[in-house]
Amino acid sequence: MRRYTLEVGGKAFVIEVQEITADRYTVLVEGQEYEVRLSSDEDVAEASITPEIVPSRGTHPPPPTVRPAAPAQSGAIPVPPSRTSANGQVVGALTAPMPGKILSIEVGQGDLVSRGQTLVVLEAMKMKNAIKSPYDGVVLEIKVRPDQTVAHGELLVQLGEE
């Protein structure tokens, strides 16, 4: 769980964020719990974060939209845009969220994977980062190998619908 203090209009808000799956989080704001779905994750200068917020308990209105002083690292992997292949299969490209070195590949071509399942382990700044599947699907192609150095945004795994 991560705790952040954000200032909105001169008022400080303490929020707690707990990852549920690769793209879903529980966010606690002033004692009210919300389930948040991360629809995208980009490193952009002066980014505004405006997640979709749905109360998980009760019917309280969502908290105000928050603009942090600096973008927070969510640790979640962005859901890549999808395209349709020639045979009609939906395909998604899982890319490196940061530069680093591939430590291991946890799946093989043709494997069925679940959302949140670790596909690749990437070392960046001496930390191991589990790169997780953003959705249920099948591994169509693995584009990296262990000990390979990758750049931010480099294609790691090609996924398709099962």
Domains of the chain are: 2-55 (no CATH), 82-160 (2.40.50.100)
Give 37-65 as a 3 state SS string: ECCCCCCCCCCCCCCEEEECCCCCCCCCC
CA distance linking residue 68 with residue 88, whole number of Å: 41
pLDDT in tens, 93-105: 888 888 899 999 9
16-25, 50-59, 97-106, 150-159: least confidently modelled range = 50-59
| Residue 91, pLDDT score | 64
CA dist 10 and 7 (Å) reads 6
Q: CB atoms < 10 A from the CB of 9, how many?
A: 5
Confidence of residue 67 (pLDDT cuts 50, 70, 90): very low
Evaluate whether 122 touches 100 at the Cβ level (below 8 Å): yes
